[in-house]
């Protein structure tokens, strides 16, 4: 539909609209033709025990009843993962309230952490974790109408943070587990764990990357400056895809689990992979209209800027203490969004995006709504109530989510007393409206 814009994506963390919080009535929001969900860091733990001891990763009860404080829907700021009641409530909310979803981007970490030394994960349990997410999608959504596109997280492998060069057993197993999703899993996936999925008759594409082949904690691989290393081959594939998109005048989203750097500006990729990746997405920023990651459980932004004289690109991320006075905001070419998770490190959250469906701007991001659950309240009343945490256009005063729009927001951020900066800092840890 010409001129219509809309896209939903949930960052599994909060899912219900409360008119008291932002002055909107849920039943008056008009959802337009296209939408998508964006889901991150689910970490479903089938062994989570309500009223257990968080120091045992919520897997066991303490003989001291005072320590058994794990809530029905999870517990904040502990190493415990996501219980079934929170997962079920999240998917039920999505099915009940967002029926015309276009597609779902899932940035990985389907499987529980391997933190419990008394309850080590097995390879079968890892594969069962992947099957469980597919089963949820099949149960709650019509896969003939909605495309679900997962990426690999750093906890989705047989060994935490470690993934060998493909082809390997994980990729071959996932190609079978993900078969009901009807994805474009070619030899690139079997060899590298990444794939391209075209949307709306090839009007734009989602490039689902395997950030484990860039991640510096993956000690099984060489850096990207080594010819034929797993990361170097993925970068070659990515550049071909971006070059083709530019030639075909087709926009793309990039989805992966681990961002290039965290909110403290620590580089998360190996040195050569990091440098090459930033240069590549900067060079092709004209065709990248969305860049989605998870991993940190925080709601943060990072910006790619251009040094036009040197034809080089840099990246910086924003946290609570970042000083913006030295940033050339006029040189922003791309914004990277990192979204919070359903896993209750902070309050669970999901995000609903809107994108343009006009001919020349198909896929360009227009807005997003972030929903959240007050986990303390949910555990007290026995019900997960989803509310709007914030709407990007209203909170940051934006007409769309392009690089120029974010550059204007950065100018507002330069003042530590600005309302927009205070809002950004508050929402980093999903602190509510």
The predicted pLDDT at position 24 comes to 32
Residue 184, classed as helix, strand or coil, is coil
pLDDT at 18 over 90: no
Neighbours of 381 (CB within 10 A): 11
The predicted pLDDT at position 248 comes to 93
Query: Among candidates 310, 292, 168, 184, which has minimal Cα distance to 241?
Result: 184
Place of tokens 């964006």: 38
For the ranges 21-25, 70-74, 79-83, which has the lowest average pLDDT?
21-25
Integer angstrom CA distances of residue 359 from 4, 5, 200, 204: 10, 11, 12, 11
Q: Tens of pLDDT along 209-221?
A: 999 999 999 999 9
Tell me the C-alpha distance between 176 and 185, whole Å: 10
What stretch of H or E contains 333? strand 332-338
Chain-wide mean pLDDT for the chain? Answer: 88
Confidence at 99, pLDDT banded by 50, 70, 90: confident
Looking only at the bridges linking them, the beta strands covering 300-307 and 251-255 are unpaired
Which domains, and CATH codes, for the chain? 19-427 (3.60.21.10)
Query: Among candidates 335, 280, 326, 329, which has minimal Cα distance to 304?
Result: 335
Integer angstrom CA distances of residue 216 from 64, 256, 293: 41, 15, 16
Residue 88, token pair as written in the block: 């079920």
Model's pTM, two decimal places? 0.91
The predicted pLDDT at position 386 comes to 94
CB 121 within 8 A of CB 84: no
Q: Tens of pLDDT along 152-184?
A: 999 999 999 999 999 999 999 999 999 999 999
């Amino acid at each position: 539909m010409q001129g219509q814009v809309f896209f939903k994506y949930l960052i599994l963390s909060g899912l219900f609209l409360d008119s008291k919080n932002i002055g909107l009535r849920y039943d008056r929001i008009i959802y337009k033709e296209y939408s998508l969900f964006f889901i991150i860091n689910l970490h479903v733990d089938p062994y989570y025990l309500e009223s257990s001891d968080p120091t045992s990763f919520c897997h066991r009860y303490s003989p001291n009843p005072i320590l058994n404080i794990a809530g029905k829907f999870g517990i904040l700021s502990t190493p415990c993962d996501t219980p079934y009641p929170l997962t079920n409530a999240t998917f039920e909310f999505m099915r009940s309230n967002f029926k015309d979803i276009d597609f779902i981007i899932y940035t990985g970490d389907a499987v529980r952490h391997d933190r419990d030394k008394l309850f080590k994960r097995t390879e079968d349990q890892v594969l069962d974790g992947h099957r469980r997410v597919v089963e949820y999608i099949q149960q709650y959504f019509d896969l003939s109408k909605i495309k679900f596109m997962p990426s690999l997280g750093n906890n989705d492998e047989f060994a935490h943070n470690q993934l060998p060069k493909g082809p390997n057993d994980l990729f071959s197993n996932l190609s079978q587990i993900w078969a009901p999703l009807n994805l474009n899993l070619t030899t690139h996936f079997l060899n590298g764990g990444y794939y391209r999925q075209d949307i709306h008759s090839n009007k734009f594409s989602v490039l689902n990357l395997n950030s484990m082949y860039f991640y510096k904690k993956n000690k099984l691989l060489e850096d990207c400056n080594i010819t034929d290393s797993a990361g170097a081959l993925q970068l070659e594939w990515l550049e071909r895809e971006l070059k083709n998109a530019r030639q075909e005048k087709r926009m793309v989203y990039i989805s992966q689990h681990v961002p290039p750097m965290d909110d403290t500006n620590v580089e998360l990729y190996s040195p050569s992979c990091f440098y090459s990746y930033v240069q590549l997405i900067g060079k092709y920023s004209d065709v990248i209209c969305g860049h989605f990651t998870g991993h940190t459980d925080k709601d943060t932004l990072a910006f790619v800027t251009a040094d036009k004289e040197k034809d080089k690109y840099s990246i910086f991320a924003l946290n609570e203490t970042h000083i913006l006075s030295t940033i050339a905001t006029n040189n922003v070419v791309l914004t990277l969004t990192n979204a919070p998770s359903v896993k209750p490190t902070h309050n669970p959250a999901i995000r609903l995006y809107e994108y343009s469906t006009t001919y020349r701007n198909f896929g360009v991001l227009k807005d997003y709504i972030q929903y959240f659950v007050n986990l303390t309240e949910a555990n007290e009343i026995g019900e997960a109530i989803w509310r709007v945490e914030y709407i990007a256009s209203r909170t940051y005063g934006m007409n769309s989510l392009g690089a120029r729009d974010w550059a204007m927001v950065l100018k507002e951020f330069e003042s530590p007393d600005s309302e927009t900066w205070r809002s950004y800092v508050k929402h980093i840890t999903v602190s509510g409206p």
